[in-house]
Amino acid sequence: MSHVHSTISRRSSKHLTPVQRGQIQALLRLNVPKAHIAKQLGISRSTLYYELQRGTVEQLTANRKITHVYFADTGQLTYEQRRKNSCSPFKYARVQPFLNFVTEQILTNRLSPDAARGLAVRQQLFDEIVSTKTIYHYITLQLIPVKNIDLPLRVRRRTYGKSIDQRSEDVAERRKFDHWEMDTIVGKRKKGPVLLVLDERVSRKRHMIKIAEKTAQAVKDGLQSILALYPTAAKIFKSITVDNGSEFARLTEDFSDIAIYYAHPYASSERGTNEKQNSLVRRFIPKSTNLESITLAAIAHIEQWINQLPRKLFDYDCAESIFSSYLPQVS
């Protein structure tokens, strides 16, 4: 087959994604030749070999022999660290007077970030400033004392119940077990089945099931099926934090014995456990996947893999073990 008529899709970006790194790890475990791996992923052999250098570590086998093994997580962490080190010095510290001015204009005079920046430019108040996009980025990262809720144009959605601000400090700081985050994962099609995921915030234990559609009724049915797994569910599910999607609109009404908290709009970092664990799911189920083709057995396998994943946070114990250790305390 000539190059012109090749059906292999080529990557348009220059950097490997976490999903591709997971594919490399899986294919290596299957002893697929490196040339075939590069061809299957649509990358050059040199890109693959550079990635193997980034993500390969030494391990000691049961026979006390040293072997070299590639791990996707190691490759990703090395890549992120090198990218961080290659960036220009952080401008944030140098523009503090400007950011203080912007903060005051937003909170006191109710200006938008763009209007506050424009005012500073027009009056030539500062020698160095940042773009409007960077201001929004700083707000998302909580580097300035402004929240998305303070920006009217970013808060068009209503909140269906208690704000996340009403959670106790013990819950917010992950000092108490039995508090969860919930989200949905969509596939290629906007309509049809989605994954309902539920993560315990202390142990990182995940439940993941497929529900018929992204609706309030389907979420209710799915959550009820998860709660039914525990005879003492009322003691294990004290609160659930969700976003402001319409599929979660009836949770407070449908589950009155569970405290339901709603994160601020456009603030996915407030459900950090969901976001991190969703990225693990994407190693197996890319965004382009039609979820109708994903079997229940495959979903159960991914859930088990996440719950048994050794985590540095727990001194390389797994979420399943940590979760199980807490259960006797609440049963």
Tens digits of pLDDT across the chain (331 residues):
444 444 444 444 568 988 899 999 999 999 999 999 999 998 999 999 999 998 998 877 777 788 888 999 888 888 888 777 665 556 888 899 999 999 999 899 889 899 999 999 999 999 999 999 889 888 877 888 888 767 765 545 556 889 998 999 999 899 999 999 999 999 887 788 999 999 999 999 999 999 999 999 999 999 999 999 999 999 999 999 999 889 999 999 999 999 999 998 767 888 999 999 999 999 999 988 899 999 999 999 999 999 999 999 999 999 999 999 999 988 6
At residue 14, the pLDDT reads 65
CA-to-CA distance for 80 and 77, rounded, in angstroms? 5
Which residue in 109, 151, 157, 155 sits closest to 132, CA to CA? 151
* Burial group, residue 149, by CB count within 10 angstroms (0-12, 13-18, 19+): middle
Longest dimension (CA), the chain: 72
Edge-to-edge strands of the sheet including 206-211?
A: 162-163, 259-262, 239-242, 179-185, 194-200, 206-211
DSSP 280-325: HHTTTS-TT--GGG--HHHHHHHHHHHHT--BGGGTTB-HHHHHHH
CA-to-CA distance for 135 and 138, rounded, in angstroms? 5
Q: Considering the domain 162-330, what is its CATH architecture? A: 2-Layer Sandwich (3.30)
At residue 86, the pLDDT reads 61
Residues with Cβ within 8 Å of 54's Cβ and at least 6 positions away in sequence, in order, are: 74, 75, 78, 79
Q: Work out whether strand 239-242 and strand 162-163 pair parallel, antiparallel, or are unpaired.
A: unpaired
Q: What is the DSSP letter of 30?
A: T
DSSP 48-106: HHHHHHHHEEEEE-TTS-EEEEE-HHHHHHHHHHHHHHHSPPPSGGGGHHHHHHHHHHH
Expressed in angstroms, the distance from the first to the final Cα of the chain is 64
Residues in the chain: 331
CA-to-CA distance for 91 and 326, rounded, in angstroms? 44
